[in-house]
Amino acid sequence: MEVKMEMMNTVVVINDKGDKLEYQTDKYKITDKEIIIMNDDQKPIIVDLTTIKGYSICTVGSPRQIVPYEHHGAMVWTRSDLKGKHREYCLCFKCKKLNTRNREDNCNIANTLFDLDVKYSLTTPVFECPLFMEKEDECVC
């Protein structure tokens, strides 16, 4: 499938060594095995999908670009407009059951999510929860 855009795109690739590589292009092709980045002034760049850790293609200047960054020692991907907003959106930080200083007294759901996040280098904001209890000083309405 060939994709042609009038706007310039950024192809971001994280290679097998964890290096971030960026290519600017208005033409590219994605197959099940490779990304072919075409530029008018040079021969195509071929990225073998079996040898990389991840990739993203986004329109330059888009507020919702998918971008890589290092988080707790791991290279992860996120939407640029949501990077660093976990605490702002997650219900847990407005819930009286959250106790990050004492996991024994912490919410069981929060502990389970935290273990999953650590294991897979994720960030999982909670938008809905059956056990939510609003902190007195935190109105979410």
What is the pLDDT at residue 74? Answer: 83
Q: Is pLDDT at 37 greater than 60 in this prediction?
A: yes
In order of start, what are the domains of the chain with their CATH numbers?
Answer: 2-79 (2.30.30), 84-136 (no CATH)
Tell me the C-alpha distance between 21 and 42, whole Å: 17
* pLDDT tens digit sequence for 108-121: 999 999 999 999 99
Measured distance CA(55)–CA(13) in Å, rounded? 4
* Mean pLDDT, residues 60-74: 77
**pLDDT class for 21, splitting at 50, 70, 90?**
confident
pLDDT score for 23: 80
Give the H or E element holding residue 112: helix 108-120
Q: What is the pLDDT of residues 74-116, one digit of tens each?
A: 888 888 888 889 999 999 999 999 999 999 999 999 999 999 9
Q: What are the beta bridge partners of residue 24? A: 10
Got the DSSP string for 13-79?
EEETTS-EEEEEEEEEEE-SSEEEEEETTEEEEEEEGGGEEEEEEEETT-TT-EEEEEETTEEEEEE
> Which distant-in-sequence residues (6+ apart) come within 8 Å of 107 by Cβ?
92, 95, 97, 98, 99, 131
pLDDT of residue 4: 46
Q: Is a pLDDT exceeding 70 seen at residue 3?
A: no
Q: Is the pLDDT of residue 42 over 80?
A: no
Please give the average per-residue pLDDT across 55-70, as a whole number: 75
User: Tell me, what's the pLDDT at 43?
Assistant: 83
**Residue-level pLDDT at 49:** 84
Full-prediction pTM beyond 0.85? no
